[in-house]
C-alpha cells in the first residue's frame, strides 16, 4: 500500500511578516496571488485536508482545493503569546522563551507544548500510513517541522533547526510500514 503526503505551508500573513507568534490571521494579498499561481502545478489528490485556521483555509481556497478541516493539522496554540512579537516576548518573558526553545514539554505561554504538536503529527502520519493514495495537507511551519523530525527519527528539538517558508511543499512517501522524507522545498510561484 503506497501513500503519499504533501504538506503545504499556509501562505504568509501580515503577522508573519512582522515576526509575530501566529494567531488566526487572514492571508496577505500577495499570498493569495502566489497560491493561485501555484495551483496548476499541484498533483491530483485523493483527499485534501486543512488546518482549522483561517490562513490555511484561505490557502486551500486560493489553490482551488476543496479541503476538509483536520484538527491534527492545527497550528501550535500559543495562547497569550498569539499575535505578540518574538521581540516583545523576549523582553517580557525571557525565561519562558528560553524554556520554550529548550524543553519540548514546556508551554510557558499557557498553550500547547511542542511535544503535543509532535504527538498530533505522529498520529496523523500513523493514520495516513494505512491509506493508499495521495493526501494534500494545508498546515503550518511547526506541524510540518514536527512531521519531518518524526520521520527522520530526530529529537523534537531539531524542529528549531528547520525553516519552512510560506507556500513551500514537503513530500513524504510510505509503503505502509514506514515513512520517508521524499522532498522539501520552496516552490517559486508568481
The pTM assigned to this predicted structure is 0.94
The answer to whether position 52 is within a domain reads yes
| CB neighbours of residue 80 within 10 Å | 14
pLDDT tens digits, 107-141: 999 999 999 999 999 999 999 988 899 999 999 99
Using pLDDT thresholds of 50, 70 and 90, give the confidence band for residue 188. Answer: low
- Residues of the chain with pLDDT > 90, as a percent, come to 88
The answer to whether position 110 is within a domain reads yes
Decide if 52 contacts 74 (C-beta within 8 A).
yes
Q: What is the pLDDT of residue 176?
A: 87
The answer to whether position 62 is within a domain reads yes
27 pLDDT above the threshold of 70? yes
CATH number for the domain including 93? 3.40.50.1240
The answer to whether position 190 is within a domain reads no
Least confident of 47-51, 52-56, 70-74, 175-179: 175-179
Number of domains in the chain: 1
The answer to whether position 56 is within a domain reads yes
The boundaries of the domain holding residue 43 are: 3-185
C-alpha cell at 43: 498533483
Strand partners, 50: 69, 138
The answer to whether position 51 is within a domain reads yes
Decide if 116 contacts 109 (C-beta within 8 A).
no
Amino acid at each position: 500500500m503506497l501513500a503519499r503526503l504533501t504538506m503545504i505551508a499556509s501562505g504568509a500573513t501580515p503577522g508573519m511578516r512582522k515576526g509575530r507568534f501566529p494567531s488566526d490571521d487572514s492571508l496577505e494579498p500577495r499570498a493569495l496571488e502566489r497560491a493561485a499561481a501555484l495551483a496548476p502545478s499541484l498533483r491530483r489528490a485523493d483527499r485534501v485536508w486543512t488546518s482549522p485556521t483561517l490562513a490555511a483555509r484561505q490557502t486551500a481556497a486560493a489553490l482551488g482545493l476543496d479541503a476538509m478541516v483536520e484538527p491534527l493539522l492545527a497550528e501550535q496554540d500559543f495562547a497569550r503569546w498569539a499575535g505578540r512579537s518574538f521581540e516583545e516576548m523576549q523582553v517580557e518573558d525571557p525565561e519562558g522563551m528560553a524554556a520554550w526553545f529548550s524543553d519540548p514539554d514546556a508551554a510557558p505561554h499557557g498553550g500547547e507544548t511542542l511535544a503535543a504538536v509532535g504527538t498530533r503529527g505522529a498520529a496523523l502520519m500513523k493514520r495516513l500510513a494505512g491509506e493508499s493514495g495521495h493526501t494534500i495537507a494545508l498546515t503550518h511551519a511547526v506541524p510540518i517541522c514536527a512531521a519531518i523530525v518524526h520521520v527522520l527519527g530526530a529529537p523534537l528539538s531539531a524542529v528549531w533547526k528547520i525553516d519552512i517558508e510560506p507556500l513551500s511543499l514537503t513530500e513524504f512517501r510510505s509503503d505502509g510500514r514506514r515513512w520517508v522524507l521524499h522532498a522539501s522545498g520552496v516552490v517559486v510561484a508568481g
